[in-house]
Amino acid sequence: MNRFTPVLLAACVVLPSSHASSPAAPVNRDSDPRPNFVFIIADDLGIGDLGAYGSTRIPTPHIDRLSREGLRATQAHASASVCTPSRYALLTGENYWRAPAWEGQCLARPDQPPVARTRQAAGYATGYFGKWHLGWGEIKPGEKREHRAGGVDWSAETLPTGVLESGYDTYFGTPWSANEPPFVFVRDRAVVGRDAADPIRIIGPKEEKYYGYGVSRGGAAAHAARPGESIDPLVTKEALAYIAANKDRPFYLHIAYVAPHVPITSEPKYKGKSGAGPYGDMIVQMDDCVGRVLDALESQGIADNTFVIFTSDNGAILNESAHRTGHRSNLDLQGQKTDAWEGGTNVPFLARWPGKIPAGAVTNRLIALNDFYATAAAAAGFTVPAGAARDSLNQLSVLLNPLAPAVRSEMTYNAISPPQLALRSGDWVYMPGQGSFGVTTDPKHAWAMQFGELGLINSDYLPDGKLKPGAPKFQLYNLKDDPGQHVNLASQHPAKAAAMAQRLNELRGRPVGAESPEN
């Protein structure tokens, strides 16, 4: 397997169609002062990939504008260090380890309405544009899909349960990651360029050996309609049309870009625009897309009443060619995507709401991406449904006043390698095992740069990446004193580690489903 193609895990956050409810009647903007929401999420973007956080090799003036005109958070974290578990938590307000086991189907329960459904019920227009990667269709008990995109007829006139059933009025985007079949665009409930005479077929491993996630055969017109280098620009074009069509009513627009996830590519005009190789060029292209969205809000006269958030689903996977230029996608944080170390979960987070969020503000308060659910509800003045979003906290007070008392003091981090789950409590992080819980220290993940190659420093490891004999069986770090997680304090503070281990068990209890498989 290529080192730049991580094996990821997937889930879905949509309600079964039998539980779908009709959206509330539209409310006219003239009589409704509630803010619009534009939530923009990058795919595997590191905190060090933006100028606002110190990048000097990748120009990101449009995204940096959000920092100048709004708030920059330094301690925002994804609750998982891989794509779908993080997005699951974001859209449901619930940690992924609570989800049932996944076989490619949609996972949300009737008592767990995703964030879009609550807004739709409150009269908001809701639109999703970009990478979904949260599963399609349903599955019979005991059924097992050979391939997670299998079991779905991608040439059908109407696709099974998907984005619209999760509360979005409209959808345009790629149904999985950019490197995962069927490599098409979907509009609402059908593949763009669908041709019943040339059906799309997903090839599973029993039929054909393949690289990465699989092979998609047939569907020539559908595949041609989604050029890999232009996914984000085409998604942006659709999002701009959505803004224009809904400028006179409150709306929630979710934009999920594929940059800088593999395959690393961008349109020709962006080649060589960064000092971090093709990886950086792809981010420059995404930055331009963000600029077009911000300009559209201005030109439509709705920027002042639009709450914009820009973030990433997890930390960066450390791209080797970019790393060799001296660029550091995760700054000096330990680890990368897939890890429970800070490099896997500490993400960029910028928020702008003119007249409400102070310009140029910086906060070090702990924020979880799953807090978006409760925070957006508070900003719009509606109530989170009973029993929903149980891992989401209202961070509005912190966003409006970066020095306000912290709302969140603890959260869990989900990684991909056992024991997978870590606990953050105040300045402390407890990890009930050795290593990063991900690719950085797991030898079976040779597709990524690992500890010895990266030149990392950790008291449990030798410079070549081998675990020291006698290293503690668990880890404890104080991020205030050691933000790079260089020194494991487990042996020095056994009582603290024991208390946090007990708290982690209390928080998790017995999960509904299985451990996070690799995704």
Residue 213 is predicted with a pLDDT of: 76
- Which of the listed ranges 56-60, 207-211, 417-421 does the model predict with the highest average pLDDT? 56-60
The identity of residue 7, as a single letter, is V
Confidence of residue 103 (pLDDT cuts 50, 70, 90): confident
Average pLDDT for 98-113: 75
Confidence of residue 445 (pLDDT cuts 50, 70, 90): confident
Query: For residue 31, is pLDDT > 80?
Result: no
C-alpha distances (whole Å) from 257 to each of 83, 287, 289 are: 12, 10, 9
Average pLDDT for 224-235: 98
| Cα distance between residue 253 and residue 174, in whole Å | 16
Query: For residue 518, is pLDDT > 70?
Result: no
Q: Which two tokens stand for residue 107?
A: 């996972």
Average pLDDT for 106-120: 81
Give the domain 412-508 fold.
Arylsulfatase, C-terminal domain (3.30.1120)
Confidence of residue 100 (pLDDT cuts 50, 70, 90): confident
Residue 28 is predicted with a pLDDT of: 60
Average pLDDT for 432-445: 95
C-alpha distances (whole Å) from 433 to each of 122, 330, 391, 473 are: 44, 23, 24, 5
Q: What proportion of the chain, given as a percentage, has pLDDT over 70? A: 91
Average pLDDT for 27-46: 88
Q: Where are the alpha helices (DSSP H) in 251-305?
A: 277-299
Higher pLDDT, 484 or 27: 484
Q: Which of 147-156, 340-349, 368-377 has the lowest mean pLDDT?
A: 147-156
Query: For residue 263, is pLDDT > 60?
Result: yes
> CB of 351 within 8 A of CB of 395?
no
| Cα distance between residue 512 and residue 98, in whole Å | 5
| Cα distance between residue 14 and residue 329, in whole Å | 32
Nearby residues of 245 by Cβ (< 8 Å), 6 or more positions away: none
- Which of the listed ranges 111-120, 264-273, 446-455, 498-507 does the model predict with the highest average pLDDT? 264-273
Average pLDDT for 222-240: 98
| Residue in the block written with tokens 């990048």 | 55
> CB of 211 within 8 A of CB of 1?
yes
Average pLDDT for 488-499: 97
pTM: 0.93
| Cα distance between residue 21 and residue 79, in whole Å | 29
C-alpha distances (whole Å) from 11 to each of 92, 144, 165, 356 are: 11, 14, 15, 35
**HSE of 107, CA atoms in CB hemisphere, 13 A:** 28
Query: For residue 35, is pLDDT > 80?
Result: yes
Out of 3.40.720.10, 3.40.50.300, 3.40.640.10, 3.40.50.12280, the CATH code matching 17-408 is: 3.40.720.10
Confidence of residue 467 (pLDDT cuts 50, 70, 90): very high
| Cα distance between residue 400 and residue 410, in whole Å | 21
Beta strands 306-312 and 170-173 are: unpaired
Average pLDDT for 350-361: 98
Residue pLDDT, tens place only, 365-376: 999 999 999 999
Measured in residues, the chain has a length of 519
CA angle 417, 419, 422 (to 5 degrees): 100
Cβ-based burial of 301 (10 A; exposed 0-12, middle 13-18, buried ≥19): exposed
Residue pLDDT, tens place only, 279-309: 999 999 999 999 999 999 999 999 999 999 9
| Cα distance between residue 92 and residue 102, in whole Å | 16
Q: Where are the CATH 3.30.1120 domain residues in the chain?
A: 412-508
Q: What stretches of 322-372 adopt beta strand conformation (E)?
A: 349-352, 361-363, 367-368
Confidence of residue 516 (pLDDT cuts 50, 70, 90): very low
Confidence of residue 422 (pLDDT cuts 50, 70, 90): very high
Q: Which two tokens stand for residue 406?
A: 């912290």
Q: Where are the CATH 3.40.720.10 domain residues in the chain?
A: 17-408
Q: What is the DSSP string of 102-144?
A: -SSS----TT---HHHHHHHTT-EEEEEE---S--S---TT--
Tell me: cis bond preceding 182? Omega within 30 of 0 counts.
yes
Query: For residue 312, is pLDDT > 80?
Result: yes
Beta strands 428-431 and 475-478 are: antiparallel
Tell me: cis bond preceding 385? Omega within 30 of 0 counts.
no
Q: Which of 45-54, 103-112, 475-484, 491-500 has the lowest mean pLDDT?
A: 103-112
Q: Which two tokens stand for residue 279?
A: 């990886």
Q: DSSP character for 196? A: T
Query: For residue 253, is pLDDT > 90?
Result: yes
Residue pLDDT, tens place only, 65-91: 999 999 999 999 999 999 989 999 999
Higher pLDDT, 242 or 134: 242
- 353-388 burial, b if ≥16 CB within 10 A, otherwise e? beebbeeebebebbbbbbbbbbbbbbbbebebeeeb
Confidence of residue 111 (pLDDT cuts 50, 70, 90): low
- Closest listed residue to residue 181, CA positions, set 144, 140, 152: 152
Residue 7 is predicted with a pLDDT of: 31
CA angle 142, 148, 150 (to 5 degrees): 90
C-alpha distances (whole Å) from 383 to each of 28, 121, 202, 426 are: 20, 11, 42, 28
Confidence of residue 105 (pLDDT cuts 50, 70, 90): confident
**HSE of 156, CA atoms in CB hemisphere, 13 A:** 11
| Cα distance between residue 452 and residue 41, in whole Å | 31
Q: Where are the alpha helices (DSSP H) in 444-493?
A: 451-454
Q: Mean of the per-residue pLDDT values for the chain?
A: 90
| Cα distance between residue 275 and residue 321, in whole Å | 11
Cβ-based burial of 32 (10 A; exposed 0-12, middle 13-18, buried ≥19): middle
Confidence of residue 151 (pLDDT cuts 50, 70, 90): confident
